[in-house]
Structures are given as structure tokens and as C-alpha cells.
């Protein structure tokens, strides 16, 4: 790029990281959903957080969306990110606050939520 000589603006990097991380989790959910739809023979299309299928297979895709959400968010995402950052960037080891403790929300409740995804 032409701007490779410009300095890195640390504050912009810091403020961009959280939304980019969340977007990566959203895109992981989309990928898991798309792969499962393919496995089940469902048509799938998506852009950002909009997922489409044929009208006749919407109920199946709704089930897949919820299952893949629960599967993804049952992982220790923040704990894994924290460990990865400390391993990849030894200079900051011990300087990052630990991830917040996990709450007691039962993620499986989204499987019964009519407005989880629309």
C-alpha cells in the first residue's frame, strides 16, 4: 500500500479491535450455519448477519441457526482469545485483564426463542 510508511495510530487500533472481534464471531456463526445447511441439502445465502433459504426450509434453517449459535458460544471464546494474545505477544503477558467470569445463562434457551433470529 502507498501508506505503509504512515505511523500506526494505537488508539484507532484499540478501538477497532472489539467490533472486529465480534464481527469475526458473527462470521464464524454464519460459516457454521452454512456448512450445516450444505450438509442437510438446504439452499443457503448470506450477507453480514442476514441468512436466506427457500421459504419451505426456513423452519429447518431456524433450527440450524440456533444449534450452531449454542455450539459456538458454548466455547470459551474470550478465554481462548486472552490466552492466544498472551502467547502471541509476550511483551503484554500479564498486562491484559482476565476475561470476565462466565455467567449462568443457559444458552439452550435461544432454541425456544421465537425472535432469536428473524
CA distances from 65 to 68, 88, 92, 111 (A): 5, 32, 37, 9
- Whole-number Å distance between alpha carbons of 56 and 35: 19
Active-site positions? 49
Among all chains, which residue has been given the C-alpha cell 479491535?
17
C-alpha grid cell, residue 24? 469475526
- Whole-number Å distance between alpha carbons of 67 and 110: 9
Amino acid at each position: 500500500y502507498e501508506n505503509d510508511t504512515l505511523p500506526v495510530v494505537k488508539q484507532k487500533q484499540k478501538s477497532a479491535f472489539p467490533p472486529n472481534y465480534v464481527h469475526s464471531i458473527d462470521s464464524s456463526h454464519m460459516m457454521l450455519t452454512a456448512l450445516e445447511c450444505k450438509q442437510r441439502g438446504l439452499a443457503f445465502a448470506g450477507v453480514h448477519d442476514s441468512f436466506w433459504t427457500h421459504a419451505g426450509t426456513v423452519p429447518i434453517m431456524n433450527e440450524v441457526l440456533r444449534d450452531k449459535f449454542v455450539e459456538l458460544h458454548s466455547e470459551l471464546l474470550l478465554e481462548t482469545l486472552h490466552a492466544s494474545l498472551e502467547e502471541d505477544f509476550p511483551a503484554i503477558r500479564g498486562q491484559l485483564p482476565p476475561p470476565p467470569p462466565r455467567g449462568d445463562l443457559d444458552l439452550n434457551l435461544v432454541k425456544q426463542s421465537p425472535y432469536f433470529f428473524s
